Amino acid sequence: MAQSMPSIDAWLAEAKADPSFRACGMYLVHNGTVRETPKAEVRGIETDGVQPGSKVGSMVFSYDRAKVDAAVDEARRLPGIGYVRVWLNEGELSVGDDIMLVLIGGDIRPRVIDALQQLVGTIKNKCVSEVERPA
């Protein structure tokens, strides 16, 4: 069963109360959601899921907590990164449901953008299972 996503406002308030805030010049948030367009169509790759031209009705989403924790630890060690927090949903998710929330704080924009892209990419490619179901 899908969970409720945490409050982005609350997360930002907690990040700015963390001792790392003194070194953070920006925070970026990624909020991934279930989309109607299949992965095979938007990414142009073959999948076992819903095929191009069809619509996604739901997704079964799960993750490996140890792999996610390792990815977060790696992101925290990147140069200039002072704050990292991740929430992942799980279960049967409908189109529009939240899949993940990632917050990264760091010293300068290029480092924070790169860290966010790296962390979300690692989570999506190595830590989660997404099984699309047709509408």
Q: What does the pLDDT look like over 96-130, one tens digit per residue?
A: 999 999 999 999 999 999 999 999 999 999 999 99
State the pLDDT at residue 82.
97
Which residue in this structure is represented by tokens 């799980």?
90
Q: pTM for this structure? A: 0.94
Structure tokens at 30: 């990624």
State the pLDDT at residue 1.
59
CATH of domain 8-134: 3.90.1170.40
Q: Are 112 and 105 in contact (CB under 8 A)?
A: yes
Q: Are 130 and 39 in contact (CB under 8 A)?
A: yes
Q: Are 61 and 130 in contact (CB under 8 A)?
A: yes
Q: Please list, in sequence order, all residues whose beta carbon lies within 8 angstroms of the beta carbon of residue 88, skipping any fewer than 6 positions away.
A: 61, 63, 68, 99, 100, 123, 128
Give the mean pLDDT of 5-26: 96
Burial class (CB in 10 A: 0-12, 13-18, 19+), 71: buried
Give the mean pLDDT of 131-135: 96
Burial class (CB in 10 A: 0-12, 13-18, 19+), 45: exposed
Q: 3-class DSSP state for residue 123?
A: helix
- For residue 72, give the amino acid letter: V
CA 57/CA 95 separation, integer angstroms: 6
